[in-house]
Structure 1
């Protein structure tokens, strides 16, 4: 049974295809149209998924869309508009026709591609929950989904058992939303909404949240895992493009103009935001485990990309198993929609999912060499690309690493990466200024051999997706300056041979040369662009930045 999951509107449109519960492919539309967090109809992503499955659109048995438009329209009019009337009128006037248009447009575009079968609209948080539970391969688990909003819910608890996944409770609904809280303050701090939230998380350790402690009730924690925002501080629910209220600016100061100086006040506000986010996530996660009686926990939704909050969940609740969907934002919901549609109502036994990351396009050496020749580049084919690249990195070179299938989700996990020596204290500034062209405060993450992780980090478990933050052991903080953040932590990726054999071999070779099997790993893209998808995009980024070496397939290109 082929199930195609697609997200046709809003940010991070994407497609995924599943056959018999086995994940074949998944990719965000942004990788094809080169528009970061693309809102375009995902035709290219759909075509790619169909190509990987070796079928046409007419052979798809079911299309699953992770947004229930009828429910969203009903909730908008029957709940939000009435509850916040008359202030809600302007927002409703904008959102109601938008939802109708996107519902109609998405369906008509799909039909125009030749699909005549059934379309199933899945509740948005069902999609997020399924994207975490089924790929976890856990027998049973509590599932917590936290994002900006679905049809109305923003935070939900689910219980997964075998092939069954059911909602237990909705903890919060729009406009009471941790996702909108973070996005609104991201915009207030002068960064781009739905894109700059990671910057704010990186800025937070430079600040101190305590000067604003008296305003911690901006999010009120309620019994049974629930919470509410004090909406007097916000305006995002009153119209498009709004975020914080005049009251907020009177208390916290005027908003930062994008590109202007980042002051101590801005850092403290970032720290305050991060603190209340962490406390709220802990509040919800604790209830999810308590209410379900489960010791295994799955997380998904955009807020689940907050690695610091995730790290505190792991440390303070100690779930026996923890799985966080690496594509936790809306692109990942297409995978969940496809899986939910496959299992829901069929009483099927769960199918083991081997890979939930390396699901995108890949290119043969022949295709790569053709691209290099077309660009008239001098290159050499290496008999041992891992040894060659390990040597280049150890000699201080910045290496772009393009291998195998691209990653699904926002993290580069060893197939579309830029790699450097983490021992070099100049590398953080060099990468930010000459390669990534981004703010100087932003940290970089390490990859480490899974079997060596506990030597360098306070990490005793697998962390393969860069979604957990750990302390760098004190004796190595000075020796690994390029990946040690200002607070002594790092968002690590552990790498096993089973997960990514070629990348494991590279780390192993670097360890043989230097004694430290750790690399700084950042995504292969420059500021404002999605991660590279094709060999040509890899060449363009290589030539247009301060990257020294391009290792693409078995080929090495040097400037």
Structure 2
């Protein structure tokens, strides 16, 4: 698909801002609004809205977009093309005071595609009745194209898969990329029961004591909880027979009675320490793994692709990601670091830039820059590394807020909380006391790639740089990393090389060479229920609120 030549030199603005159905306590059917500006194949500006508003999973960009533009937090000077991302909820957008309006010329196109000749009008400031070239991109393709920002354009003969809770015409879609062309394969809701295990299943919510509406926070909890149980074929049949108890929101007694009838187990309340419930969680996870891998195998049997590009919120399931690699179906597997809906504007901008003939440049994950001052002037030296190391060796907990923030759900060293990884007690303090997370949730390490190869006894896949896989730790190294090894013996390692994050790399190198420290706890710099910190002010406030011992802000160490 080509775009007329006069568009080539204009920058691209992409927005994911579909309005939710109501103003719920938690996002309902739409979450994680975001905006991206690209120019010449490169991301110039990007913002995950929650970082600016400080409201987790914020879906109200319609209330803030005019403000962000008028106060120059977002700079849109000059001519631009604009592209909006749809969802199963809507294909339109209107800002709070009606100064920005968008309507698609097609409703929920099938197959998912780019829709041209849409209507958009800006009507404020220097943009009185300005009508840019406007496009709408289907949710599915926006997810898929997020990959290109981190790996470059898709390689020849690639299978492209999106899998999430819900896009525009399904929660699963697949394409084949060959000869620089996208071939649509399928899009549907046939696998929606799988993603619902993690975001819309009444039994899951009851087991984890989650409130209805907390679906955006449940997936990570279920993955962590599932590790305490064991898969059971009998439990799988029990779940299938009862339609996975997906609708027992107000009828928990039905589950208790069926569990007693089938297993002679007496349950009268949901307790995360209950072994039977842990086994149910493990079975949910196993069904998810087996079914998606079976689907990928079926598709690849037909298309015989050399590469897999996988995206959407379901690709945050690191256990499944690792199982996909183990199949050895592909020469390489690619998953972006920002794979949930917070990356949709990135994928949409990349798609439009591609159609305009621009080569998509490879980016680091540190793209969340709107509202953050330029930081090139900041430098650090070995004295800073030494001071931080001395604190860490005293079992101190430190927040890191350097430069631009990561895009996506995972902290990768610029918005992280760090501590020694060799103590279960310290890990528990970080996770449960400082962050107020549930007892069953694991905490991850950040480790030099060279050491990660050593402690796992295998070559670390590139996906580990984005914390997208789990690994078994060799027995001889477990005492050095006991705080970051989950109950099932695995660890969600973020491996790091010099170019990934020079500061964290140098700190880890210093700790290993001077003190034989193999890795650090690396968890996101936020308390449960809050967004990851964005600005220096956010970092300082959150560090004090979480009672951290120190914080590093743009390479300046502040003792608290």
Scaled by the length of structure 2, what TM-score is found? 0.80
Deviation at 1:210, TM superposition (A): 0.8
2:13 paired residue number: 4
Corresponding position: 1:30 with 2:50: yes
Instruction: Give the equivalent residue in structure 2 for 1:234.
Output: 246
Q: Is residue 69–residue 76 contact of structure 2 (8 Å, CA) maintained in 1?
A: no
User: In structure 1, how many angstroms separate the alpha carbons of the residues matched to 2:506 and 2:313?
Assistant: 32
Residue equivalent to 1:322:
333
Partner of 1:21: 41
Report how far residue 177 of structure 1 moved: 4.3
Change (3 A) 1:318 1:360: farther
Give the one of 188, 205, 212 matched to 1:187.
205
Deviation of 1:64 after TM superposition, in Å, equals 1.5
Partner of 2:551: 550
Matched, 1:151 2:168: yes
Query: Partner residue of 2:22?
Result: none
1:352 counterpart (354, 361, 365) = 361
Task: Note closer, same or farther for the CA distance 1:252–1:134 as it changes in structure 2 (3 Å cut).
Answer: farther
| Alpha-carbon offset, residue 50 of structure 1 | 11
Is 1:128 aligned to 2:143, yes or no?
yes
Residue 231 of structure 1: CA displacement? 5.6
Asked if 1:266 corresponds to 2:277, the answer is yes
* Paired residues, number: 499
Contact 2:69 / 2:75 at 8 angstroms: preserved in 1? Answer: no
Q: 1:135 to 1:545 in 2, by over 3 A?
A: closer
Tell me the distance in 2 between the aligned counterparts of 1:146 and 1:476. Answer: 35
2 CA distance for matches of 1:109 and 1:449?
A: 49
Q: 1-side partners of 2:524 and 2:325: how far apart?
A: 25
Tell me the CA shift for residue 367 of structure 1: 11
Please identify which structure carries the higher helix content: 1
- Secondary structure of the residue that 2:61 maps to in structure 1? coil
1:291 and 2:302 are equivalent in the alignment: yes
The answer to whether the Cα contact below 8 Å between 1:24 and 1:49 also exists between their aligned partners in 2 is: no
Tell me, yes or no, if the aligned pair for 1:129 and 1:158 is still in contact at 8 Å.
no
Aligned residue for 1:331, secondary structure, equals helix
Q: 1:232 to 1:529 in 2, by over 3 A?
A: closer
Gaps of 5+ in 2: 1-9, 19-29, 102-122, 261-265
User: Structure 2 CA distance, aligned partners of 1:496 and 1:411?
Assistant: 17
**5+ residue gaps, structure 1:** 73-97, 220-229, 237-241, 369-380
Q: After superposition, give the CA deviation of every residue in 1:136-186 in whole Å (9 maximum; x if it has no partner).
A: 22423211110111122111112234754342222x326834322321234
**Structure 1 counterpart of 2:523:** 522
Distance 1:4 1:552 in 2: 30
Question: Residues 175 and 110 from structure 1, CA distance in 2 versus in 1: closer, same or farther, beyond 3 angstroms?
Answer: farther
Larger deviation, residues 549-558 vs 262-271: 262-271
Worse-superposed segment, 187-196 or 537-546: 187-196
- C-alpha spacing 1:130/1:403, structure 2 compared with 1 (3 Å): same
Shift of 1:127: 0.7
Shift of 1:193: 1.0
1:39-66, CA deviations, whole angstroms, 9 ceiling, x for partnerless residues? Answer: 11167579879999984265322x2222
Give secondary structure in 2 for the equivalent of 1:400.
Answer: strand
C-alpha distance 293-11 of structure 1, shift in aligned 2 (>3 A): same
1:73-152 correspondence to structure 2 within 5 Å: 99=90, 103=93, 108=98, 110-111=100-101, 112=123, 114=127, 116-133=131-148, 135-137=150-152, 138-140=154-156, 141-152=158-169
Query: Which aligned pairs between 1:357-396 and structure 2 lie closer than 5 A?
Result: 357-361=366-370, 362-363=372-373, 384-396=383-395
Give a deviation string over 1:12-53, Cα, whole Å, max 9, x none: 111112112222232210001111111111675798799999
Give, in angstroms, the shift of residue 464 of structure 1: 0.8
Report the aligned-residue RMSD: 3.4
Q: Distance in 1 between matches of 2:446 and 2:452?
A: 9
Q: In 2, distance between residues paired with 1:469 and 1:244?
A: 36
Q: Structure 1 99/44 Cα, relative in aligned 2: closer, same or farther at 3 Å?
A: closer
SS in structure 2 at match of 1:158: strand
Determine the C-alpha separation between the residues in 2 that align with 1:169 and 1:529.
37
Distance in 1, Cα, partners of 2:219 & 2:251: 15
Task: For 1:556 and 1:311, locate their aligned partners in 2 and report how far apart those are by CA, in whole Å.
Answer: 37
Contact 1:154 1:173 in 2 (8 A): yes
Q: More deviation in 549-558 or 38-47?
A: 38-47
Deviation sequence 1:224-244 (CA, Å, 0-9, x none): xxxxxx8685349xxxxx699
Q: Pick closer, same or farther for the CA change 1:145–1:385 going to 2, 3 Å.
A: same
SS of residue in 2 equivalent to 1:482: helix
**Alignment partner for residue 84 of structure 2, among 58, 62, 65?**
65
Contact 2:161 2:175 in 1 (8 A): yes
Q: Deviations over 1:270-309 (max 9, x none)?
A: 1111111111221222234333322211111110000111
Provide Cα deviations, 1:246-292, integer angstroms capped at 9, x if missing partner.
9767545899989x654223212211111111112212222343333
TM value normalised by structure 1: 0.80
Q: Please name the residue that 2:117 is paired with.
A: none
Q: Distance in 2 between matches of 1:430 and 1:232?
A: 35
Offset, 1:516: 3.3
Q: Distance in 2 between matches of 1:332 and 1:180?
A: 21
Change (3 A) 1:384 1:281: farther
Report the counterpart of residue 83 of structure 1 in structure 2.
none
Q: Distance in 1 between matches of 2:171 and 2:278?
A: 27
Contact 1:427–1:482, Cα closer than 8 Å, also in 2? yes
